[in-house]
Amino acid sequence: MDRLSGELRLRRAFEADLSSVEYQVLVFARDMGTPPLSSSVTFPVTVVNRAMPVFDRPFYSVKVSEDVPIWTPILGINASSPEGQSVLYTITHGDPGTLFSIGFDTGVISVIAALDYETSPSHRLIIRATDCLTGARAEVDVEVTVLDVNDNPPVFEQPSYKTVISESAMIGTAALQVLATDSDSEKNAAVRYQIIPDRTNSTDHFHIDSSSGLILTARSLDHETIQRYVFLVKAADNGFPPLSSEVWVTVDVTDTNDNAPVFNQLLYEASINELAPKGHFVTCIQASDADRSDAERLKSNTT
């Protein structure tokens, strides 16, 4: 480099190479002040082998569905030799799982193993083209974008759900929330919930928010009538065709003191001799309580 003009020249000819080479050149500039100040810059210098094959595109990309059949061709790579010789193609990087192959002499890339969007939504391959005569080579990037298909059903976070709610709960009270996730993407991952109708008419007593999975009471509950509800909740995605899963939900209804004791008769009458001693039997007064927790704890007194 000329220290005054900054011109950069070759000190010697490049050695013959089979590919392009990039050099990183670091240049310092310093003034003559006191104290002297300096700056530096780094820039690349690429030396191109004229015999290198030339690709017809600077970059290749293709989109392919994750359910593409094995051995399906997905893209053709084309490079030409300046010497007019044949070109051979190889995949050098970006395919550790050996999912793709390229025709050695055709440049056609094919899928040779199952793709999975959930594991790898994209693959960046480096394709090398080698001149058969000179051995000169060039490389190009290929971006393979894997498109999602609906191949995963929703999965609930728990194998079953159970909760307890009081029979005095108001209509619209939240009982519990179920949650399912789908490992697919976009609409294939959107989950909707519903309660599957059954003989216990759970759909009459409970409602589920189709978007959030929150289960709410839809009617007044009565422990004396039904103490436990067991029903199925279904989670389905929005794919085509939709995939779904089901989970059992158990709701136990607890008792509250919402029923007063009821006498077995509206009127009790008894007669007794005026000479009856203390503790003499007069009559038996009976009452019952619909509340289970109170049925065996009735107390009576006289006024």
The whole model's pTM is what? 0.60
pLDDT at 65 over 70: yes
Report the pLDDT averaged over residues 42-53: 80
Q: Do domains 54-147 and 155-254 have the same CATH topology?
A: yes
| 273 against 157, higher pLDDT | 157
- The CATH number assigned to the domain with range 54-147 reads 2.60.40.60
pLDDT at 74 over 70: yes
| 134 against 76, higher pLDDT | 76
d(CA 25, CA 62): 36
Least confident of 4-8, 171-175, 264-268: 264-268
What is the per-residue pLDDT for 80?
A: 92
| 12 against 129, higher pLDDT | 129
Long-range CB contact pairs, 205-214, < 8 A, 24+: 205/229, 206/175, 206/231, 206/251, 208/178, 208/233, 212/177, 213/177, 213/178, 213/179, 213/180, 214/174, 214/176, 214/177
* Residues 6+ positions from 65 with CB-CB distance below 8 Å: 146, 147, 149
- pLDDT tens for 217-267 read 999 998 888 889 999 999 999 988 899 999 999 999 988 766 677 777 778
What is the per-residue pLDDT for 278?
A: 82
Q: Tell me the two tokens of residue 270.
A: 């008894």
What fold does the segment set 155-254 form as a domain?
Immunoglobulin-like (2.60.40)
> What is the b/e burial string over 133-148, where b = at least 16 CB atoms within 10 angstroms of the residue's CB?
ebebbbbbebebebeb
| Whether 193 contacts 207, CB under 8 Å | no
What is the per-residue pLDDT for 303?
A: 60
Domain ranges in the chain?
Answer: 54-147, 155-254
Report the pLDDT averaged over residues 89-114: 96
Question: Hey, is 32 helix, strand or coil?
Answer: coil
